[in-house]
Amino acid sequence: MSVIVLIPAAGMGSRMGSAVHKQYLTLAGRPILAHTLALFDDHPAIDHIYLIAPAAEVAYCQAEIVNRYRFAKVRGVVGGGKERQESVRNGLAACAGAAGDIVLIHDGVRPFFPTTLLEPLLATAARVGACLLGVPVKDTVKVVAEGRVAATPDRATLWQAQTPQVFRYELLAAAHRRAVEDDFFGTDDASLVERLGEPVAILHGSYRNIKITTPEDLVLARAFSKHQEIPTT
């Protein structure tokens, strides 16, 4: 059984609004995407990595990210799609023939994933079929419609989904096929498996495992990268 990592990094970073796509912005002198890839390239549990890049930037990512930082486990750089889900689907197609393997999906813009969580994630996904990281929400959450509060769900049941999200390859491939058939778009991969009625486990992630989405996140990320002693959970 191999562990295959797919890194979707084909987004346009519209909420960041930076001149270059956010995955290439630097933290401690290296592109965010290079920090993220290093988490997996350096880890003994990982066998193969596929990087999913904007279609027009495949050659750039191969030269300036994979070759420049010498990521030895990257087997290919794949062009992404308009939505994140399409990008992951392209990654799954690139490693077709991975039946029996485990596939791990991790956002290219989450460079602070604590890799101490990798072994429990992989073990749980192998046992259950699907496992993601998440953290309980800290704030009270409102459901809002047309400028009015419609509901206040019980916070005790609410978690924020993170990546990595890890699956048996055949299960995730089937979930993506079903989503295409149903013309369904989800904002993460676990939601596609949930729609099949299959069990999805969740493990406590880290509040530090932020997705760098808006300019405030970049400020936080730069602070994290300067103060590595900040607790990871």
Ligand X SMILES: C[C@](O)(CO)[C@H](O)COP(=O)(O)O
Which spans of this chain sit near ligand CTP (rule: CB under 6 A)? Answer: 8-15, 23, 52, 80-84, 87, 107-109, 211, 213
Residue closest to ligand CTP (Cβ): 11
In angstroms, what is the minimal distance from the CB of 112 to ligand CTP? 13
Q: Which does 205 bind (CB under 5 to 8 A by kind): ligand CTP, ligand X, none?
A: none
Residues 12-71 that bind ligand X (CB under 6 A): none
H or E segment to which residue 180 belongs:
helix 169-182
Contact code string over 146-185 relative to ligand X, x by CB under 6 A: ---------------xxx----------------------
Q: Does 85 bind ligand X (CB under 6 A)?
A: no
Phi-psi region of 2 (alpha: psi -120 to 50; beta: other; left: phi over 0): beta
What are the Cα distances from residue 182, in Å, to 81, 122, 192, 225?
18, 29, 11, 42
How many residues are given for the chain? 233
At 21, which amino acid appears? Answer: H
Name the β-bridge partners of 201.
131
Residue 12, binding choice from ligand CTP, ligand X, none, Cβ under 5 to 8 Å by partner class: ligand CTP
CB of 229 to ligand X, least distance (A): 26
Based on the shown chain and the rule CB under 6 A, indicate whether residue 107 belongs to the binding site for ligand X: yes
Name the nearest CA neighbour of 106 among 222, 186, 221, 9: 9
| Binding track over 199-228 against ligand X, x by CB under 6 A | ------------x-----------------
CA distance 171 to 176: 9
